[in-house]
Amino acid sequence: MMKRIGKVIAASALFAGLLAGCGTSSGQSGSQNGDTIKIGVNLELSGGVASYGTGINKGVQLAVEEINAAGGIDGKEIELISVDNKSDGQEATSGAIKLTDQDKVAAIIGAATSGNTIAQVEIANDKKTVLITPSGTSMVVTVNEKGKLNDYAFRTTFIDPFQGTVAANFAINELGVKTAAVYGDNASDYAKGLGAAFIETFEAAGGKIVKEESYIAKDTDFRSTLTRIKSAEPEFVYIPGYYEEVGLIVKQARELGIDVPLMGGDGWDSPTMVDLAGADALNNTFVTAAYSDEDPDPIIQNFVEAFKEKNKEAPDGFSALGYDTVYLLKDAIERAGSTDSTKIKDALEQTKDFPLVTGALSIDENHNPIKSATILEYVDGQMKFNSKVNPE
Amino acid sequence: MEWIQQLVNGISLGSIYALIALGYTMVYGIIKLINFAHGDVFMVGSFVGFYSIVGLGLDFFTALVLAMIFCAIFGVLIERIAYKRLRNATRIAALITAIGVSLLIENGFIFTWGPQPKAFPDIIANGSFEILGAKISIKSILILSISITLMVILQFIVHKTKIGKAMRAVSHDNEAARLMGINVDNTISATFAIGSALAGAAGVIFGLYYTKIDPLMGIIPGIKAFVAAVLGGIGIIPGAMVGGLVLGVIETFVNASGFSLWRDAAAFVILILILIFRPNGIFGKNTREKV
């Protein structure tokens, strides 16, 4: 099924690409007069994951408007040059080539998914142009398979294993538990990454993992494994996975009398989660997320208010990350004192405790951000802001 | 007492397998066809239950009956449209048709209603009570009692009614039954109707117990039920019940001993072992091939 949808999308993207190709060459912006800073945006504005890309784009637009209204960066306005990669890797690559060769942008923001970002990484390295993905979580974006750093690739969101670390710290420090069980999807890298990081941090902090179990995606009966977990009597169960199974796991766990706190990552975040698990079962469960629009922190509330005024809707996590990416870039350009890409890259690498909507951010040696994560708690089927956890 | 809890888990799962397996075994018994579309009838039953509760606001038992009636008609339609004209064709042709029907139902359903999973409403109170340290939910008891009731009714139909007698006669010798004045076509249709109604009931129960229903949900339980039917001895009604329960309990205990990723494999290892060492199943008689 997915394959077929993929084909249809690929075919329509190809066709749309032919049409769009006629338009873009004439739309070349020739303002080379040096009083604007050009930033390329290469996002999924249409296609399969358009909701991610458009969310980011709204955040980016808002941030640029704010910066330009406040006088730009060192007196220069930001000029956004947008490319729609149509949720397709090849389109993302050709978009990156256009932005670097033709528009000579100072930096590229995008793409939303790891795959479409990886499709641009080679171009960014070749042309020595900074590439920042707001939401791509795969390790390979910044460090390739051989373990070599992609010099010009950065990201604004935290990497997957970080959520596991945050969850372990939260369990030990805030909930005060000593023993935990881990029950994760055995086939997804996402869940395995979260689970491994949780176990490592939890044990390092003196906690004890009393049971480690895994399930197969698409399964519906988790009762027997949950019974095993129950008899190990953990004080906390960590369940990294996606909502389709986690919803059922939470429900069945509660039915079997596992009343301890349950926790997972952003894979839990879906309205369907509440339908599957039921609002009651979800009480006393926690989720790690990049951001919450209920966070009372003024930097977040200002963003939420400005966003609502412009877009007439509440911002999602993607919008917040898009917004932050622009400010991250602005900060680096200011510190570099230049739009020279190599200098921007060096400045980005030096980013330290820079306050952003999705938490104060530092860039580590692998170009991954170290930042705080937000803990959300389900209360009667609603996700409520619980607390903010700083790394370490 | 962990193992009591696991036994309850296993019996609940097993009674769903048993209900589906009954349809497999009855159809096989009467026309020697493995009806691979049976798992999809189960899925349809689940969705009929879902829509009658969510859409029509019916209570659980009315929804259950409605799903059974709908599936009975659906099963007869499948038989009349797809299998009837193949009655004298080779068995492999009928088998391939059954797989085709299965794919048609699944993808037709996805095409019409979309592939997203739906959450079955929680309309039975989530109560539970403790026996010997095991927490037994009202739902498990409900599932077990509905399954047992349906199986008792089935035994009654097969052994005490005229149509049951006809079914047994047709399954014993199709031609001779026809010579005795039994309407073979109607008897076969009745078999499909009863088997499909049981699958429909299993679908609704499954939805209640496991919450998540989607258009492809019938595939794995369908295959497991097939294994259960073979385990008990295909074509033999008590065999399907016992086979289903045994399979459910075995799967649960494989899971319970820490091999959760081997659970599905266990079902198929059982299938292979049964086919090698006792192809007629637990209840099967060693009949010699007639020349």
- The domain segmentation of chain A, as residue ranges, is 33-158+299-372, 161-289
Q: Given this chain, do its domains A33-158+299-372 and A161-289 carry the same CATH topology?
A: yes
Question: What is the predicted pLDDT for the residue at B133?
Answer: 72
Q: What digits encode the pLDDT tens for the residues B44-94?
A: 999 999 999 999 999 999 999 999 999 999 999 999 999 998 888 888 999
Mean confidence (pLDDT) of chain B: 89
**Type of residue at A254:** R
> What does the DSSP assignment read for B101-166?
HHHHHHHHHHHHH-S--EEPP--S---EEEETTEEEEHHHHHHHHHHHHHHHHHHHHHHHSHHHHH
CB-based contact B210 A220, cutoff 8 Å: yes
Nearest one of A278, A281, A258, A217 to B120, comparing CA atoms: A278
Instruction: Tell me chain A's radius of gyration from C-alpha atoms.
Output: 22
Q: What is the CATH number of domain A33-158+299-372?
A: 3.40.50.2300
Question: What is the predicted pLDDT for the residue at A224?
Answer: 87
Element (DSSP H or E) covering residue A387:
strand A382-389
Identify from B109, B112, B210 which residue to disrupt to test chain A contact, counting A C-beta atoms within 10 A and taking the largest count: B210
How many Å apart are CA A372 and CA B286, to the nearest integer? 69
What's the first-to-final CA gap in chain A, in angstroms?
43
CA distance B155 to chain A (A): 29
CA distance A306 to chain B (A): 34
Averaged pLDDT, groups of 10, chain A, 392 residues long: 48 46 38 73 86 91 94 91 90 94 92 90 92 89 88 90 89 92 85 90 92 86 89 93 88 90 86 84 90 87 93 89 94 91 92 90 91 89 85 65
Question: What is the predicted pLDDT for the residue at B288?
Answer: 53
Identify from A1, A227, A233, A242 which residue to disrupt to test chain B contact, counting B C-beta atoms within 10 A and taking the largest count: A227
Contacts with B205 from chain A: Cβ below 8 Å: none
ipTM value greater than 0.85: no
Question: What is the predicted pLDDT for the residue at A28?
Answer: 36
Averaged pLDDT, groups of 10, chain B, 291 residues long: 83 93 91 91 96 92 95 96 89 92 92 84 78 79 91 93 92 89 93 95 93 90 93 89 94 85 87 89 67 49
CB-based contact B2 A228, cutoff 8 Å: yes
How many Å apart are CA A181 and CA A321, to the nearest integer? 32
Identify from A2, A213, A220, A270 which residue to disrupt to test chain B contact, counting B C-beta atoms within 10 A and taking the largest count: A220
Structure tokens at B242: 């016992």
**Which are the contacts of A29, defined by CB distance < 8 A and separation ≥ 6?**
A38, A79, A81, A103
A210: helix, strand or coil? strand
Nearest one of B53, B17, B56, B63 to B206, comparing CA atoms: B17
**Type of residue at A300:** I
Question: At the topology level of CATH, where does A161-289 sit?
Answer: Rossmann fold (3.40.50)
Question: What is the predicted pLDDT for the residue at A30?
Answer: 37
Nearest to B135 among A220, A221, A257 (CB): A257
Question: What is the predicted pLDDT for the residue at B286?
Answer: 61
Residue in this structure with the two tokens 């089927």, named with its chain if needed: A381
**Which are the contacts of A37, defined by CB distance < 8 A and separation ≥ 6?**
A72, A73, A76, A77, A78, A79, A106, A333, A339
